[in-house]
Amino acid sequence: MNKQVKYSFKNEFVSYFLLIFGSFLFAVGDVMFVNPYLLAPGGTYGLANVFNTIWPWRISFYAICMDIPLLLIGTWLLGPKFGAKTVISTVAIFAFTWVLEMAWGYNPVINEGILTNPDAVHNLVQIPHSDNTFFQPDYFLNTVVAGVIYGLAIGLIFRSGATSGGSDIISMILHKYTKVSLGTLVLIVDSFITLTTLLAFGDIRLPIYSIILIAIESKVIDFVVDGIKTYKTAFIVTDQTEEVRNFILNDIRRGGTIFTGLGMYQGTERKMIYVTLERTDLVKLKSNIRRLDPNAFINVVDSSEIMGLGFKALPEE
């Protein structure tokens, strides 16, 4: 087996491992943390949680009954954009959720005590499908943990090359026919699903905590997919090109690119330096730029992934 085949096999193995493990984490987050607190942080599983509490049936059954038609309709209207990994992810999440429902039930991991008498304390939530059993909730801690688990799960699924499918397909279909941005449509669809908790249970805390969960989840997804953004890219417009260039090359020991541009206001030809730096190097540059050119203009942007000489190696084929 040659090196290229070995590398390809290793990448595929890691990819499918991330897919399966991410699907398992998603099921854990939903069954053990989200459902017991009656939360619905978007997606078909969020809606399935609401249905599960109002009309008791397994979350996995509700979700797969929505996911399969959405995949079929999405393929019909949008073409086969989802790929085999998204189908595998959909089936894996269903399977793991079903197993956890059978083995664990819908009991919360985080609580401040299980009670059989709901009159003993106020602010109780009934555990679904557990007769005459109640628990005293810790909404905030549960929301934080659920958001982290959901974020890790979906981030790993994204890293594997799959998509979340589910309600995202609705957003993609609406995007095709309305031309509203996909991000806006995803927010609208997930917000509607989140608000169903208020309509179903009449508790304003539930959609609020669901939104907090989504916010935490999105940050964790960014961290898993993009990593810690330790690099900064600076665009420096300066008349003292040589001084700034020498400082970057000799003091910071980084390379860069110099562009020639035309100022919009005066129409004067100006030089612009493009350079990517670590945060510590950017601090050095900013602390010295006034000395090098008091009239310099700098635009700094986050760089989530840098590949090439001096940074992360370029991927092999």
Contacts (Cβ under 8 Å, ≥6 apart) of 189: 42, 167, 170, 171, 174
Say yes or no: 28 and 168 in one domain: yes
Among 155, 170, 148, 163, residue whose Cα is nearest residue 215: 148
Q: What amino acid occupies position 311?
A: F
Q: Tell me whether residue 169 is exposed, middle or buried, using C-beta atoms within 10 angstroms of its C-beta: 0 to 12, 13 to 18, 19 or more.
A: buried
Q: Are residues 198 and 56 in the same domain?
A: yes
Residue 89 lies in a domain: yes
Determine the structural domain holding residue 292 and report its residue range: 231-303
Taking only the tens of pLDDT, the chain with its 317 residues reads: 555 555 567 778 888 899 999 999 999 999 999 988 888 888 888 889 888 888 888 899 999 999 888 888 877 876 776 677 888 888 999 999 999 999 988 888 888 777 666 565 555 565 544 555 677 888 999 999 999 999 899 888 888 877 666 777 777 777 777 777 655 677 778 888 888 888 888 888 889 999 999 888 888 887 887 676 678 888 988 888 888 888 888 888 888 888 887 777 777 778 888 988 887 788 888 888 888 888 888 888 877 667 666 666 665 55
Type of residue found at 18: L
Residue 102 placed within a domain = yes
Indicate the residue among 226, 255, 281 that finishes a domain: 226
Q: Which of 226, 256, 279 is the last residue of a domain?
A: 226
Same domain as 208, residue 101: yes
CATH number at residue 254: 3.30.70.120
C-alpha 303/C-alpha 280 separation (Å) is 14
What domain count does the chain have? 2
User: Domain for residue 315, yes or no?
Assistant: no
Tell me how far apart the alpha carbons of residues 110 and 292 are, in angstroms, rounded to a whole number.
Answer: 56
- Verify that 64 and 205 share a domain, yes or no: yes
Tell me: do 125 and 52 sit in the same domain.
yes
> Residue 188: what pLDDT?
79
Q: What is the pLDDT, as a whole number, of residue 281?
A: 84
Residues 142 and 216 placed together within one structural domain of the fold = yes
Query: Identity (one letter) of the amino acid at 11?
Result: N
Q: Are residues 70 and 202 in the same domain?
A: yes
Q: Do 137 and 243 share a domain, yes or no?
A: no
Domain shared by 191 and 212, yes or no: yes
147 and 219 co-located in one domain: yes
Q: What is the C-alpha radius of gyration for the chain, rounded to an integer number of angstroms? A: 25
Kindly state whether residues 288 and 155 are assigned to the same domain. Answer: no
Q: Out of 208, 226, 244, pick the residue that ends a domain.
A: 226
In a domain, 310, yes or no: no
Same domain membership, residue 157 and residue 285: no
Task: Tell me whether residue 308 is in a domain.
Answer: no
